[in-house]
Amino acid sequence: MKVERRAVLERLRDHLTDSDIVVAALAGTTADTYQVVHRPENLYLVGLGMVTQVSLGLALTLPDSKVVSLDTDGSLLLGPSILPVVAASGAENLRIIVFDNEQLFGSRGGAPSQTAAGADLTAMARAAGIRHADTVADEGGVASALERLFSEPGPALLTAKIALAFRAEGPSMDGQENKYRLVRRIEAIRGRAILAPPKP
């Protein structure tokens, strides 16, 4: 039986502190993250092909915080060139969880993705130089897979082969509000201002 995305997110909560950042992909990933592990340190609705890219930037900027990229098969396949960049960065605080439902626009019932035809995101990550890359394909392996993901130095990647699911209700705030909330949290975490005060 394939993994439920929410089961992964429920286990993820145990590995997060108040200084850790979570970056969530569009659609069902953002909706489930909001429902299961909503916190002011989350950045939601990051665009297709940009989730791990944004996460890497945050990880390099905030070396004392864990940064968790909640990416998807469609998103990562759109920008797979980020994988060797992640590997070369040596960002030990970066963890990537790829929710692979083998379907493009899965929450809307789109066409099968290339992972349904044999593309292996974990193998791609290893070939790109990410040494700690793993796959979990059944519910019983989720806890141990996440334990390994967070016990090994990053950058590390876990592909979760998830079941298709309908989209739950997501956050009511828009992207701009979410961005400013996160920036204010990062200011508090780092203890210094990022955004300048408005000019009089």
Give the separation between CA 169 and CA 104, rounded to whole angstroms.
Answer: 20
Cα angle value 166/167/170 (rounded, 5°):
165
Number of domains forming the structure of the chain: 1
pLDDT digits (tens, 9 = 90+) for 81-98: 999 999 999 999 999 999
- Percentage of the chain modeled with pLDDT above 90: 68
Which residue shows structure tokens 């590995």? 15
| Residue 199 falls inside a structural domain | no
Q: Is residue 195 part of a domain?
A: no
> Residue 172: what pLDDT?
80
**DSSP β-ladder status, 42-46 and 67-72:** unpaired
In a domain, 200, yes or no: no
Q: How far apart are CA 196 and CA 114, in angstroms?
A: 44
What CATH number is given to the structural domain containing 180? 3.40.50.970
Domain span at residue 88 reads 5-190
Dihedral angle at the C-alpha atoms of 103, 106, 80, 146, nearest 10 degrees?
Answer: -100
Tell me: pLDDT of 182 over 60: yes
